[in-house]
């Protein structure tokens, strides 16, 4: 096998492919990028058995063939080479030579025989959206998935297509993040649970450009993300997702509108007194015209007043500041509106258009 490509091309393909290289695996071949040079061009494939990536590389092929190289070392070599033409060549013993100008690297390759190729997925149901929208919707929800595996379903996100709207939901038992993205054309209903880890890697691969499209195909057990040069196949999480509609209510007793960045920096300041893993809540007093945030700790105390527009009853309520910060950070609006019922009931942050809904459970506090 032998091909030649510009460093920038090779590097961007490697940076995509490496996202599906597992950190730990019992199958050493999965630490590799499979390089296939054929009549159809050059493709790099990786697979951690939950997610697989296949990406096309702009290269000129001088000899067809297949070889697997360790992703980490190959990526390091490409990164450190000068910004010039790179030639990669594997001989019959799978010794791989990488040449660039007067630099020559030699590493050992492996045969692709044991490699786990990507499953061939039927293209049944399909949606299409911009890479900008998909990247955003992942960033705006992914922090709400559960970190531990006690409840497998909570480690994934719901992708729910209904009435030509994609609804993406993440929840961890303390909070819910929900975003709605309108879709073009007519779309069949779908409801699947996508592993959070996969989504977070996909988020890093997506360009985030509004003009770049991504097509998503759904089957019973898999989902495929197809971009210009790259195809990502992920397994789905089996099971029935929570009935989120039941958890979300539009009743409220108190409605407060506050400047988002002021509120965010105010909570951020309060976290000075919250140590990692500490469950100390921030306490928010809502009265006519202002919101007072306060926190007490052995290190010291803080309190701050913010101007707000308020409707309904006065209220004092406690929150985990982390959850509030996570939600406020991914909202774009200048002002946010909080809907509250009482100190034991969830707080909702949502916009009028219904494009986002964040639910945060309050925390008990004593004064």
Q: Does residue 304 touch a second copy according to CB under 8 A?
A: yes
C-alpha distances out from residue 298 to 6, 63, 205, 229, Å: 58, 69, 44, 55
Q: What are phi and psi of 199, to 5 degrees?
A: -60, -40
Q: What are phi and psi of 73, to 5 degrees?
A: -70, -40
Cβ partners under 8 Å of residue 224, min gap 6: 121, 123, 216, 217, 231, 232, 233, 234
Whichever of 9 and 304 has its CB closer to a second copy, that residue is 304
Binding mask 90-129 for a second copy (x = CB under 8 A): ------------xxxxxxx---------------------
Interacting residues with a second copy between 264 and 283 (CB under 8 A) = 265-266, 268-269, 272
Closest to 107 in 3D by CA, of 13, 27, 208, 35: 35
Q: Does residue 77 touch a second copy according to CB under 8 A?
A: yes
Binding mask 157-196 for a second copy (x = CB under 8 A): ----------------------------------------
Burial of 187-220, coded b for 16+ CB within 10 Å and e otherwise, reads: beebebbbbbbbbbbbbebbeeeeeebbebbbbe
Q: Does residue 299 touch a second copy according to CB under 8 A?
A: yes
Q: Tell me how far, at minimum, the Cβ of 281 lies from a second copy, in Å.
A: 18
Task: Give the separation between CA 221 and CA 313, rounded to whole angstroms.
Answer: 48
Whichever of 4 and 297 has its CB closer to a second copy, that residue is 297
324, 348 contact by CB (below 8 A) = no
Q: Tell me how far, at minimum, the Cβ of 271 lies from a second copy, in Å.
A: 9
Whichever of 107 and 248 has its CB closer to a second copy, that residue is 107
Q: Tell me how far, at minimum, the Cβ of 7 lies from a second copy, in Å.
A: 12
Q: Does residue 285 touch a second copy according to CB under 8 A?
A: no
Q: Does residue 302 touch a second copy according to CB under 8 A?
A: yes
Whichever of 103 and 221 has its CB closer to a second copy, that residue is 103
Q: Tell me how far, at minimum, the Cβ of 301 lies from a second copy, in Å.
A: 5
Q: Tell me how far, at minimum, the Cβ of 77 lies from a second copy, in Å.
A: 6
Find the angle CA(237)-CA(242)-CA(247) to the nearest 5 degrees.
155
Residue in 305, 351, 361, 365 binding a second copy, rule: CB under 8 A: 305
Q: Tell me how far, at minimum, the Cβ of 288 lies from a second copy, in Å.
A: 16
Judge residue 158's burial from the number of C-beta atoms within 10 Å of its C-beta, 0-12 exposed, 13-18 middle, 19 or more buried.
buried
Q: Using CA of residue 161, residue 138, residue 135, residue 41, what is the dihedral sign?
A: negative
Site for a second copy, rule CB under 8 A: 73, 76-77, 80-82, 102-108, 265-266, 268-269, 272, 299-306
């Amino acid at each position: 096998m032998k091909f030649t490509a510009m460093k920038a091309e090779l590097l961007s393909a490697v940076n995509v492919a490496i996202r599906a290289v597992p950190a730990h695996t019992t199958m050493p071949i999965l630490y590799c990028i499979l390089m296939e040079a054929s009549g159809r061009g050059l493709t790099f494939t990786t697979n951690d058995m939950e997610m697989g990536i296949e990406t096309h590389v702009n290269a000129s092929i001088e000899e067809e063939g297949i070889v697997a190289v360790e992703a980490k070392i190959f990526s390091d070599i490409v990164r450190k080479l000068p910004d010039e033409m790179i030639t990669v060549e594997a001989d019959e013993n799978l010794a791989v030579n990488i040449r660039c100008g007067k630099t020559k690297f030699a590493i050992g390759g492996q045969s692709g025989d044991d490699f786990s190729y990507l499953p061939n997925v039927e293209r049944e149901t399909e949606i299409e959206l911009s890479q900008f929208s998909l990247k955003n919707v992942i960033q705006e929800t992914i922090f709400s998935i559960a970190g531990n595996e006690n409840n497998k379903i909570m480690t994934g996100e719901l992708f729910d297509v209904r009435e030509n709207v994609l609804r993406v939901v993440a929840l961890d038992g303390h909070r819910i993040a929900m975003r709605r993205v309108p879709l073009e054309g007519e779309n069949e209903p779908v409801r699947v649970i996508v592993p959070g880890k996969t989504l977070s890697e996909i988020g890093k691969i997506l360009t985030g450009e509004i003009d770049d499209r991504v097509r998503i195909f759904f089957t019973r057990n898999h989902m495929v993300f197809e971009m210009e040069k790259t195809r990502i196949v992920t397994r789905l999480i089996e099971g029935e997702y929570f009935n989120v509609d039941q958890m979300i209510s539009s009743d409220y007793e108190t409605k407060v509108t506050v400047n988002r960045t002021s509120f965010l920096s105010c909570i951020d300041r309060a976290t000075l007194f919250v140590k990692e893993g500490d469950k100390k809540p921030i306490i928010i007093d809502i009265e006519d015209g202002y919101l007072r945030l306060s926190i007490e700790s052995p290190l010291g105390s803080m309190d701050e007043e913010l101007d707000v527009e308020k409707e309904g009853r006065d209220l004092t309520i406690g929150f985990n500041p982390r959850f509030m910060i996570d939600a406020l950070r991914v909202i774009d609006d200048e002002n946010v509106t909080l809907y509250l019922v009482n100190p034991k009931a969830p707080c909702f942050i949502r916009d009028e258009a219904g494009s986002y809904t964040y639910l945060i459970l309050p925390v008990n506090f004593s004064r």
